[in-house]
Amino acid sequence: MTDGESSRRSYDDALQRLATMLADRTPTLGASRLVAVDGPAGSGKTTLATELGALLASAGSEPPVLHMDDLYEGWGGLDDSLERRLVAQVLAPLAQGRAAEWQRYDWHREQFAEWHDLAPPEVLILEGCGAGARAYAAYTTLLVWVEADRAKRMARGIARDGEQMRHHWMRWMRSEADHFATNYTKARSDIAIRTS
């Protein structure tokens, strides 16, 4: 077995373990279970959330994936206002058994745009930097930490966003490091997954 095959098998095993852990947990978001997928930018959170969603869908549940990228107020959006907004618009209503209504941030126009409805799901996957903040701990059923080495993360970010965004990525990396340190995110996680 090659290193790549071994890494993929370990990753697939981790996905299965996540699905099993989730099924064994009591709902914490009203009648819903919330999976928070957190970790540094470029570490593979979106891919993991998508693949976990597909795995759960194949077992009969089709969880929506809510991306933190749609909620940040731009490059400086990893702050207390994000936490208050996410609780008020999404987590508190779902915890009360009501539909959530959240507003998407338009990065090109640099302003909030349209509103989206979210009916209470069986499972909600919240994905992105800050998804595991302590402000959401009471609502979170399973906290997943995803990480990769810094050079790999930066390369992924620049490949996606372009070289002209490097200074934003550097500033974001400082901001997320402060956020993770304040929230003890990795230490509080139920499972940590390293991507290659």
Cα separation, 75 vs 89, in Å, equals: 20
2-14 residue pLDDT tens:
555 566 788 888 8
Structural domain includes residue 143? yes
Report yes or no: 94 and 87 within 8 Å, Cβ to Cβ. Answer: no
Structural domain includes residue 96? no
Q: Is the pLDDT of residue 30 over 60?
A: yes
Structural domain includes residue 87? no
Structural domain includes residue 135? yes
What is the domain count for the chain?
1
Cα separation, 43 vs 194, in Å, equals: 8
Q: Which domain holds residue 50?
A: 3-68+122-194
Structural domain includes residue 83? no
Structural domain includes residue 99? no
105-119 residue pLDDT tens:
999 999 999 999 999
**For residue 1, what pLDDT is reported?**
52
The CATH number of the domain where 166 resides is what?
Answer: 3.40.50.300
